[in-house]
Chains A and B, each alone.
Chain A
Amino acid sequence: MPSPFWCELASRRMATDTRSDVRFGGLADADLLELHRRMVLLRTYDERSVVYHRQGRIGTYAIFWNHEAIQAGATFALDDEDWIFPSYRESAIGLVRGLPAETILQWWRGHPSGWWNPADWNVASISVPIASHVPHAAGLAWGKKLRGENAVAMAFFGDGATSEGEFHEGVNLAAVMNAPAVFICNNNQWAISTPLEAQTRAESLADKAVGYGIPGVTVDGLDVLAVYGAAREAVERARSGGGPTLIECVHYRAAPHATADDPRAYIDVARMEEERANECLGRFERLLIDAGVLTAERVDAARKDAEDLMRAGIAAAEAEPPADPELVFTHAYVDPPENFRNG
């Protein structure tokens, strides 16, 4: 297992290289600030959600603290017409597209106003069963290609998902159809309590790409620019007809699996603390501040904006009247069978 810090220097190199197309991967200062804003948004969403859960304002919640570099970095390589297929670990990833925090909070509150139309945001519904959305991304990418549309599909899943049959079937389908898909494996080395070595004997999850005949790369999952760089290359390849890519983003889970989980029973607590001290947002902020792109004031402003957004989001969610019980029936069918209300 490579150290999660093994390519931290990638960002440092990018930051210090003075060539404009290499410095920060060619991202302009405005892009870097936007990327930072998105990471702050995701971080704030996650931290506030844990609090809301403890306050009884949302239900059980899957924590993604320190996964922001992966989520913001990978999606930053997408255009608006591209699709995102989140697992529950990426429940709030639609925020980067402007999906209201209120909607996602309602999903975690078990309220039907947490439903959204995937086509409004090009963000698929949150997929709860592990890896079962991977074939959806393959099908959408393939189907768009058949229609001559220029959309890339990006699916997110964890390390445990790579053991699922539907991961294999979905990536293989995308590869065979040369579909413009990008598969982002969030390898935080834990599937709830099962460590990676109990999940696979493969040295690297990116190696699985070899079996599909597609490129597989490993990046530091805490290095937002490394994730972005790998994703941009994969998206460009997909869009230009080069087919799918598997990107493994390695880090080490620094928070519980979910609000209902106490990882002290199984995780290396000292390692977790080490990870928390080296968390991805702080790393990016230090990098940008050192480079003179970001200031402490801007950090504060970004946090305040995100906190305001969350405050408004939870207020709007809580202000919403209880869902109409009629919604139990409303959307089960377009053209429902006559007897479907019999209970």
Chain B
Amino acid sequence: MAELTLVEAVNDALHTELARDEDVMVLGEDVGRAGGVFRATAGLRDRFGPDRCVDTPLAEAGLLGGAVGLCMAGWRPVVEMQYDAFSYPSLNQLITHVGRYRWRTGGRMQFPLTIRMPYGGGVRAPELHDDSPEAYYVHTPGIKVAIPSTPADAKGLLAAAIRDPDPVVVLEPKLVYRTSRGEVPEGEHVVPLGEARIVRGGSDVTLIAYGAMVPVCEQAADAVAVSCEIVDIRSLRPLDERTILASVAKTGRVVIVHEAPRTAGFGAELAALIAERAIFDLHGPVLRVTGYDVPYPYWTIEDAYMPSVERVVAAVESLT
């Protein structure tokens, strides 16, 4: 075990997977010579060469569309989108091709590509470096979506994504890229998609979160008098419904936390799941603590947007 930051664990996963499988290649803007603006791809170009860690033109649709063609040529591309909001020009490729091409071939051609990107706010960055676009991705059929909150999961989920036969989007919480530090298994390490993680057990309230909101929930749980169970769902599709429903059955109270805007955010999906499958387990309403339905604000006022420990505490206390 080595103690790594979350972004170092991403880098470790890429080194490990490129060494393991010679069909894996990394491509994106500034991933090669610079090693990525967050250093997530550092050392790959030197170690594996400029053909397996490729600086591409600054064009996200061409980048993702190019990766579709690379799949057709037998590669297993790992595409870096430099920032969450910079991925939007590639949504046409994602929706019209990445999520449907295999289906369009009657299952006869595989598109095992991975798209990874830093996401989320709180980093005092300029506009459009702060978005939480997970709902766009998880709403797209054919796409799987994973979001780690710890260094070990960052490595293991990315490895699972790269090995998965379907296209997978991995959103990495940039707020905790360097503040989240933890033990990471050396060598090959895979965390299967579709398995939630119980961060801590509890009996009164279930807090459901992912990415950078997991530590917020942990602080909130420390600050309240009642016993909170925290579920880090880790994978939005496939979703570990059993772990969520088992926790709700135990506590009967739920607070869902995400940074993304509220309306049609992934919290709505989780709330609907609980309403459909666990309504008689509930002792109160399913609450959401989310970003607002506004453009992500400039950084001097972003703390007023991000779900805070105080807002999560207030939600928990309103239920108990």
- Which A69-128 residues have C-beta < 8 A from chain B? 83, 112, 115-120, 124-125, 127-128
- Whether the Cβ atoms of A140 and B72 lie closer than 8 Å is yes
- Whether the Cβ atoms of A136 and B73 lie closer than 8 Å is no
Q: Does B65 count as interface, using CB distance less than 8 angstroms?
A: yes
Q: Which residues of A contact B165 (CB under 8 A)?
A: 334-335
Q: Looking at the assembled complex, report how far the CB atom of B273 sits from the nearest CB atom of chain A, in whole angstroms.
A: 9
In this complex, which of A116, A153, A332 has the most chain B Cβ atoms within 10 angstroms of its Cβ?
A: A332
- Whether the Cβ atoms of A170 and B65 lie closer than 8 Å is yes
Q: Looking at the assembled complex, report how far the CB atom of B210 sits from the nearest CB atom of chain A, in whole angstroms.
A: 16
Q: Which residues of A contact B141 (CB under 8 A)?
A: 332
The CA of A120 and the CA of B62, in the complex, are separated in Å by 25
Contact of A135 with B56 at beta-carbon distance under 8 Å, contacts A125-B101, A140-B73, A143-B73 already known: no
Residue in contact with A132 in the complex, picked from B92, B110, B164, CB distance below 8 Å: B92
B47-64 vs A, Cβ < 8 Å mask (1 yes, 0 no): 000010000110101111
Q: Does B202 count as interface, using CB distance less than 8 angstroms?
A: no
The CA of A272 and the CA of B195, in the complex, are separated in Å by 62
Q: Does B187 count as interface, using CB distance less than 8 angstroms?
A: no
- Which A287-343 residues have C-beta < 8 A from chain B? 330-335, 337-339
- Which B61-105 residues have C-beta < 8 A from chain A? 61-75, 89, 92-93, 96-97, 101-105
- Whether the Cβ atoms of B108 and A117 lie closer than 8 Å is yes
- Whether the Cβ atoms of A330 and B65 lie closer than 8 Å is no
- Whether the Cβ atoms of B69 and A138 lie closer than 8 Å is yes
Q: Does B246 count as interface, using CB distance less than 8 angstroms?
A: no
Nearest A residue to B102, CB-CB = A331
- Which B92-145 residues have C-beta < 8 A from chain A? 92-93, 96-97, 101-110, 141-142, 144
A131-151 vs B, Cβ < 8 Å mask (1 yes, 0 no): 011111111111110110100
Tally the A-B contacts, defined by beta carbons under 8 Å. 152
- Whether the Cβ atoms of B62 and A169 lie closer than 8 Å is yes
- Which A51-80 residues have C-beta < 8 A from chain B? none
Q: Looking at the assembled complex, report how far the CB atom of A214 sits from the nearest CB atom of chain B, in whole angstroms.
A: 14
- Whether the Cβ atoms of B57 and A173 lie closer than 8 Å is yes
The CA of A168 and the CA of B70, in the complex, are separated in Å by 18
Contact of A141 with B106 at beta-carbon distance under 8 Å, contacts A135-B61, A173-B62 already known: no
- Which B164-180 residues have C-beta < 8 A from chain A? 164-166
Contact of A335 with B65 at beta-carbon distance under 8 Å, contacts A112-B106, A118-B72 already known: no
The CA of A127 and the CA of B59, in the complex, are separated in Å by 20
The CA of A176 and the CA of B101, in the complex, are separated in Å by 25
- Whether the Cβ atoms of B97 and A146 lie closer than 8 Å is no
- Whether the Cβ atoms of A144 and B62 lie closer than 8 Å is no
Nearest B residue to A141, CB-CB = B69
The CA of A330 and the CA of B101, in the complex, are separated in Å by 13
- Whether the Cβ atoms of B62 and A143 lie closer than 8 Å is no
Q: Does B185 count as interface, using CB distance less than 8 angstroms?
A: no
- Whether the Cβ atoms of B105 and A118 lie closer than 8 Å is yes
Nearest B residue to A331, CB-CB = B107
Q: Which residues of A contact B71 (CB under 8 A)?
A: 139
Q: Which residues of A contact B144 (CB under 8 A)?
A: 333, 337
- Whether the Cβ atoms of A140 and B69 lie closer than 8 Å is yes
- Whether the Cβ atoms of A143 and B92 lie closer than 8 Å is no
Q: Which residues of A contact B103 (CB under 8 A)?
A: 331-332
- Whether the Cβ atoms of B75 and A143 lie closer than 8 Å is yes
In this complex, which of A125, A135, A331, A332 has the most chain B Cβ atoms within 10 angstroms of its Cβ?
A: A135
Q: Does A2 count as interface, using CB distance less than 8 angstroms?
A: no
Q: Does A129 count as interface, using CB distance less than 8 angstroms?
A: yes
Q: Looking at the assembled complex, report how far the CB atom of B38 sits from the nearest CB atom of chain A, in whole angstroms.
A: 24
- Whether the Cβ atoms of A116 and B105 lie closer than 8 Å is yes
The CA of A135 and the CA of B241, in the complex, are separated in Å by 37
- Whether the Cβ atoms of A138 and B66 lie closer than 8 Å is yes
The CA of A120 and the CA of B72, in the complex, are separated in Å by 12
Q: Does B239 count as interface, using CB distance less than 8 angstroms?
A: yes
Q: Which residues of A contact B182 (CB under 8 A)?
A: none
Nearest B residue to A155, CB-CB = B69
Q: Which residues of B contact A335 (CB under 8 A)?
A: 164-166
The CA of A172 and the CA of B58, in the complex, are separated in Å by 10
- Whether the Cβ atoms of B107 and A330 lie closer than 8 Å is yes
Q: Looking at the assembled complex, report how far the CB atom of B305 sits from the nearest CB atom of chain A, in whole angstroms.
A: 31
- Whether the Cβ atoms of B65 and A132 lie closer than 8 Å is yes
- Whether the Cβ atoms of B59 and A169 lie closer than 8 Å is yes
The CA of A327 and the CA of B45, in the complex, are separated in Å by 42
Contact of A139 with B89 at beta-carbon distance under 8 Å, contacts A169-B57, A331-B103, A339-B241 already known: no
- Whether the Cβ atoms of B93 and A135 lie closer than 8 Å is yes
Q: Looking at the assembled complex, report how far the CB atom of A118 sits from the nearest CB atom of chain B, in whole angstroms.
A: 6
- Whether the Cβ atoms of A115 and B62 lie closer than 8 Å is no
- Whether the Cβ atoms of B72 and A143 lie closer than 8 Å is yes
Q: Does B253 count as interface, using CB distance less than 8 angstroms?
A: no
- Whether the Cβ atoms of A119 and B142 lie closer than 8 Å is no
Q: Which residues of B contact A134 (CB under 8 A)?
A: 65
Q: Beyond the given A134-B65, A165-B89, A337-B144, please list 16 additional residue pairs across the A-B interface where CB-CB is below 8 A.
A: A83-B72, A128-B96, A132-B65, A135-B62, A139-B69, A140-B72, A142-B69, A143-B75, A146-B25, A146-B73, A146-B75, A172-B62, A173-B57, A331-B106, A337-B237, A337-B238
Measured CB to CB, the residues of B under 8 A from A are: 25, 51, 56-57, 59, 61-75, 89, 92-93, 96-97, 101-110, 141-142, 144, 164-166, 194, 237-239, 241
A-B pairs, top 5 by smallest CB distance, nearest first, are A139-B69, A135-B65, A169-B62, A143-B73, A337-B238
